[in-house]
Amino acid sequence: MKILDWYIIKNFLVTFLFTILALTVVAVVIDSSEKTDDFVKSGLGTWQIITEYYTGFVPFIISMIFPLMVFIAVIYFTSKMAGRAEVIVILANGIRFNRYLRPYFIAGTFLALVLLYCNWYVFPKGNEIRSEFQINHIDKNSSYYAGMSNANTFYLKNDPSTYIAIRYYDTASKISGGFAMLKIKDNKVVYNLRSDVIKWDTAKKNWRIENGFERKIDGIKETIRLIPALNLQLNLTPKDLRRDEYLKDKLSSPELQRFIQLEELRGTEGLNTYKVEYYRRMATPVSVLIMTILGATIACRKTRGGSGLHLAFGLVSAALFVVMDKFSTVFSTKGDLHPFIAAWLPNLIFGIVAWWVYKKTPR
């Protein structure tokens, strides 16, 4: 690597760090002003709020703005170089345009790898801290907890031939108001177990039903009996019956993958939200590289508007990227769009745009 490479990489990384830190500070100030009443009601001191909330909130904000800040940083310092005619001098001295882009690619790859690692392990830990504070001090009196509601009905697949239904489950008392288990063989019900009460036995780490009704079916022969009490070893625990809207953000990528696989075996529906999150954690680092190349090719030309025009274009492009990302997510979670396509579609479109701009950029 030559002096030119280190010059561009240094400017790239320094501008990026300054940009993302500045935006993070602004986000923290805005968030603290909005949650002042909640902080006062929580009764926590300043240090506790910092350690129990903002140590998780800051990674959450960084994860949201990381690719966009890379784009803005590249456009800003490259437009400054173009305004000082540095890009013209570099290319006029016989350096090919592809060679000029090499330090951008190196720095962009480094940031993409950093984001990939943080997406898999660091940001989920921060989200866990933030969500615990949100649940305990902000959402405490909201409808977040499922409690005893008619909507709290779970239909799960316990094994390849056994299906269970649990209704009105209370996460606090670990007691359900309704339970049913069916075993199916050759598309016929061969076993049916029902109970008005099922609860988690914390000592034996299994489920216990009371006042159960068992029905065995063998062709035209049926056996029926009442069961005062029975312990069952089911393929689920109380935490699996808690509707946690923050779950996809708290799990590391390996944990999220195992969760998706387990829920698919159980026959759980509505997993697209988790799948989109899993695929996006791999797609977002690639978007960093795309944004780097796109920003470098856009801002390398000297214009009358200077860096202001380039920044305006960068902000509009960033807004379009966010809107496109949100739309693809909605189409996947509420429609039939495959989660992989939903996560990678913005990268595909902006990748095509970056290639077109690259081909049209004067050498």
The mean pLDDT value for 103-119 works out to: 96
Q: Which residues contact 126 (CB under 8 A, 6 or more apart)?
A: 55, 56, 57, 58, 59, 60, 63
pLDDT value of residue 219: 82
Instruction: Transcribe 113-134 into DSSP letters.
Output: HHHHHIIIIIHHHHHHHHHHHI
Reply yes or no on whether the pLDDT at 277 is more than 50.
yes
Within a domain: 315: yes
Residues 22, 75 within the same domain: yes
Are 52 and 8 in a shared domain? yes
My answer on whether 233 and 299 are in the same domain is no
**Cα Rg for the chain, rounded, in angstroms?**
27
Evaluate whether 142 touches 155 at the Cβ level (below 8 Å). no
The H or E element that residue 310 is part of is helix 306-333
Q: Would you put residue 270 in left (φ > 0), alpha (ψ -120 to 50) or beta?
A: left
Give me the mean pLDDT over the 346-358 stretch. Answer: 90
Looking at the structure, tell me whether residues 295 and 353 fall in a common domain.
yes
Judge whether 51 lies within some domain. Answer: yes
Does residue 227 contact residue 196 with C-beta atoms inside 8 Å?
Answer: no
d(CA 126, CA 54): 9
**Residue 111, pLDDT above cutoff 80:** yes
Asked whether residue 147 is domain-assigned, the answer is: no
Q: Are residues 12 and 120 in the same domain?
A: yes
Q: Does residue 129 share a domain with residue 15?
A: yes
pLDDT at res. 84: 85
Q: What are the pLDDT digits (tens) for 233-243?
A: 888 888 777 66
Residue 145 has pLDDT above 50, yes or no: no
pLDDT in tens, 168-195: 777 667 788 789 999 998 888 899 999 9
| pLDDT for the residue numbered 239 | 75
Residue 184 lies in a domain: yes
Residue 263 lies in a domain: no
Averaged pLDDT for residues 34-47: 86
- Comparing C-alpha atoms, which of 312, 319, 298, 315 is closest to residue 79? 298
Domain identity same for 89 and 30: yes
Q: Which of 39-43, 77-81, 262-266, 278-282 has the highest mean pLDDT?
A: 278-282
Query: What average pLDDT does the structure give for the chain?
Result: 86
Question: Is there a single domain that holds both residue 85 and residue 188?
Answer: no
Report the alpha-carbon distance of residue 231 to residue 180 in Å, rounded: 14
The number of folded domains in the chain is 2
CA–CA gap between residue 200 and residue 94 (Å, rounded): 74
Q: Which of 228, 244, 260 is the last residue of a domain?
A: 244
Is a pLDDT exceeding 60 seen at residue 146? no
Within a domain: 193 = yes
pLDDT band at 1 (very low <50, low <70, confident <90, very high): low
Domain that residue 199 falls in = 153-244
Q: Same domain for 120 and 26?
A: yes
Whether residue 191 lies inside any domain: the answer is yes
Distance CA 284, CA 277 (A): 10
User: Tell me, what's the pLDDT at 173?
Assistant: 76
Residues 8, 34, single domain; the answer is yes
Q: Are residues 212 and 283 in the same domain?
A: no
Q: How far apart are CA 281 and CA 288, in angstroms?
A: 12
**DSSP string across 138-174:** ISTTSTTS--S-TT-EEEEEEETTEEEEEES-BTTTT
Whole-model pTM?
Answer: 0.79
pLDDT at site 149: 40
Residue 24, domain member (yes or no): yes
> Do 343 and 289 fall into the same domain?
yes
